[in-house]
Amino acid sequence: MLLIDSHVNLHAPQFDEDREDVIARARQSGVGLMLNICDRVSNFDACYQLADDNADIWATVGTHPHEAKENPDLTVADLLKLAERPKVVGIGECGLDFHYDFSPRDIQASVFRTHIIAARESGLPLVVHTREADEVMWEILSDEHRNGAFKLLLHCYTSGAELAKKAADIGAWFSVSGIASFKAAQDVRDIVADMPAAKIIVETDCPYLAPVPMRGRRNEPAYVTHVYDKVADIRGWTREDTITRTNQSFFDLFDRIPQP
């Protein structure tokens, strides 16, 4: 059965020495589709090139909240122009990170709103990073949702149950990463157990957050098999059912990608 890794960072420098081998191992493990996530607009060409070179890799365009300070004047037009590329299927990764505060919070919020507008105008799903910012995240999401609906993915979800419920009420999807397999992450597993069944997808977020039993290593897409298994365990689904359900959720969200 086709496995999907909905969030990879294959253009990251951690893969510079063996990128092609990493991609080959993913395919050997049954991963038939990978979504390479743009970390900042200035790095878009490197992100997109992998999608352009590989039939089974797609891409997004956006700027992570850590990097928002790099381009505080980012415009909707900037994002929409890059989103015209044929293998761009999402806007982001964008959002708020109040844990590290690598970019000023007001700039994070402003750049995030720019991404939301671009998602709304393009019809592409928004890939959202949120960490220790639940109250402001909901304030922005709810405010912008009143201006018009947009498709929304809360990726690698580790925030609170209240934000998860509110986001689900406006139609959000959620992606589960290897964090769900960490011993100390029972709160994450509890939230995964309550996520809407038709709105769950899986990811590695490689090269970060390798799942158990690979924890401590550099993560790679081949390890997504362990995330599927953990979701199956949490939800009480068979592995085959988990693949079928989460793959359908993925294609419902990223509907620019043709289903094989």
Q: Find all residues with CB under 8 Å of 188, minimum gap 6, and list them.
A: 157, 158, 179, 180, 182
Neighbours of 3 (CB within 10 A): 22
Give the pLDDT mean for 52-57.
98
The pTM for the full model equals 0.97
Give the pLDDT mean for 244-260.
97
Residue 63 domain-assigned (yes or no): yes
Residue 96: per-residue pLDDT: 98
Residue 154 domain-assigned (yes or no): yes
Residue 186 domain-assigned (yes or no): yes
Copy the structure tokens of residue 232: 């199956």
Residue 215: per-residue pLDDT: 96
Axis-axis angle for helices 239-253, 224-235 (nearest 10): 110
Mind listing the pLDDT tens digit for each residue in 119-139?
Answer: 999 999 999 999 999 999 999
Residue 260 domain-assigned (yes or no): no
Give the burial class of 121: count Cβ atoms within 10 A of its Cβ; 0-12 exposed, 13-18 middle, 19 or more buried.
middle
* Amino acid symbol at 107: I
Residue 150: per-residue pLDDT: 98
Mind listing the pLDDT tens digit for each residue in 114-124?
Answer: 999 999 999 99
Residue 245: per-residue pLDDT: 98
- Counted domains in the chain: 1
Mind listing the pLDDT tens digit for each residue in 192-230?
Answer: 999 999 999 999 999 999 999 999 999 999 999 999 999
Mind listing the pLDDT tens digit for each residue in 64-97?
Answer: 999 999 999 999 999 999 999 999 999 999 999 9
Reported confidence tier of residue 260, pLDDT bands at 50, 70, 90: confident
Any idea what the CATH number is for the domain that residue 247 is in? 3.20.20.140
Residue 102: per-residue pLDDT: 97
Mind listing the pLDDT tens digit for each residue in 2-53?
Answer: 999 999 999 999 999 999 999 999 999 999 999 999 999 999 999 999 999 9
CB–CB of 117/157 below 8 Å?
Answer: no
CB–CB of 3/224 below 8 Å?
Answer: yes
Residue 4: per-residue pLDDT: 98
Cα 83 to Cα 75, 79, 125, 224, distances in angstroms: 13, 6, 11, 27
Question: How far is Cα 249 from Cα 260, in angstroms, rounded to an integer?
Answer: 14
Domain that includes residue 204, residue range: 3-253
Residue 259 domain-assigned (yes or no): no
Residue 2: per-residue pLDDT: 95
Residue 37 domain-assigned (yes or no): yes
Residue 14 domain-assigned (yes or no): yes
Residue 72: per-residue pLDDT: 97
Residue 41 domain-assigned (yes or no): yes
Neighbours of 237 (CB within 10 A): 18
